[in-house]
Amino acid sequence: MVLYSYLWRQVLLSQRRFFWCSGIVRRPLRMASSHPLAAVCQMTSTPDKEANFRVGRQLVEQGRQGGASMVFLPEGFDYIGSNREETLELSESLQGDIISRYANLARELNVWLSLGGFHERGHDWENDRRIYNSHVIIDGQGEIVSVYRKGHLFDVELAGKGVSLKESAFTIPGPNLVPPVQTPIGKVGLGICYDLRFPELSLALQRHGAEVLTYPSAFTLATGAAHWEVLLRARAIETQCFVLAAAQVGAHHAQRSSYGHALAVDPWGVVIRDCGGTDVGVALVEMDMQRLQNTRRDMPVQQHRRGKEYYSGLE
């Protein structure tokens, strides 16, 4: 009976999932809650960095006005270039203008920010002109507290679906995972977009204490329609974590469009927020850690996991 009641409550939550997503509006979006709130954002970046920052600032401000203590922006929040040369030319270091402006914004509003992925110039930029795809966490004092550099690069050629991207042509794969970060909404484990397809990453973060997994993304139309929601729900179910996925949406330029549907998924795998496939906007998410604890207590998957030698037995 207890499990039935819990499941029915999740169904009711999922039916309300569209009600809390709002486009950029002048009147503040506000959500009453006794739990910390996160704001998951959806935007349409272009090669125009200044225009992108204006939209990003509005989204952060709206999330903060709604009561969020942490705001999540998608991969390519800084820009999405129309070709390799433009992508490289527009890149910056972590000490550059874009991250500095967002750090000032975080300090001004006293809000944490998840900024991923940022086009960060590589460690040997002057010689090889290659970049990292970096997920930057900034605290409410405007300090960078963690940087994760994307480890799985999107090199995909889907014949017949119009998808042809080779991220490794100009991007350096990150060397390692970074520990989950303690934030006002819980302990957050960092990934970026294509990392979503690799459950080893999410399980490693969960083993190191993650309560929230986040995948800022710019999924293509084809891969988004086929795999986006099911992958996010799978990562939530197998780790029993909240999963927050800010997303790019719509046409960035003539060569590229993104799927949208910025999502929030609870530890039972229920989609509790969905920003749809057309509009820029913000979804407020109640981070009820009791829900996470109940899920892990009622189905103690991690206690049932066998040792490494069991899973490596076929090798």
Question: Which residue among the candidates 41, 61, 120, 193 is catalytic per the annotation?
Answer: 193
> Two tokens at 291?
């829900």
- Reply yes or no on whether 167 is catalytic: no
Half-sphere exposure at residue 23, Cβ-oriented, CA atoms within 13 angstroms? 7
Active-site residue, 49 included: no
Q: How many other C-beta atoms are found inside a 10 Å radius of the C-beta of residue 269? A: 19
Rg of the chain, C-alpha, whole Å: 19
Catalytic residue from among 21, 61, 92, 150: 150
Residue 76 main-chain phi, psi, to 5 deg:
70, 25
Does 117 sit behind a cis peptide bond, omega within 30 degrees of 0 on the bond before it? yes
Catalytic residue among 21, 41, 61, 75: 75
- Write out the DSSP string of the chain: -HHHHHHHHHHHHHHTTTTTEE-S-SSPP----SS-EEEEEEE---S-HHHHHHHHHHHHHHHHHTTEEEEEE-TTSS---SSHHHHHHT-B-TTSHHHHHHHHHHHHHT-EEEEEEEEEEPTTHHHH--EEEEEEEE-TTS-EEEEEE--S--EEEETTTTEEEEGGGTBPPPS-----EEETTEEEEE--GGGGG-HHHHHHHHHTT-SEEE--B---HHHIIIIIHHHHHHHHHHHT-EEEE-EEEEEEETTEEEE---EEE-TTS-EEEE--SS--EEEEEE--HHHHHHHHHHS-HHHHPPPHHHHTTT-
Does 308 qualify as catalytic in the annotation? no
Q: Which residues does 68 contact at the CB level (< 8 Å), separation at least 6?
A: 37, 38, 39, 111, 284
Which residues are identified as catalytic? 75, 150, 193
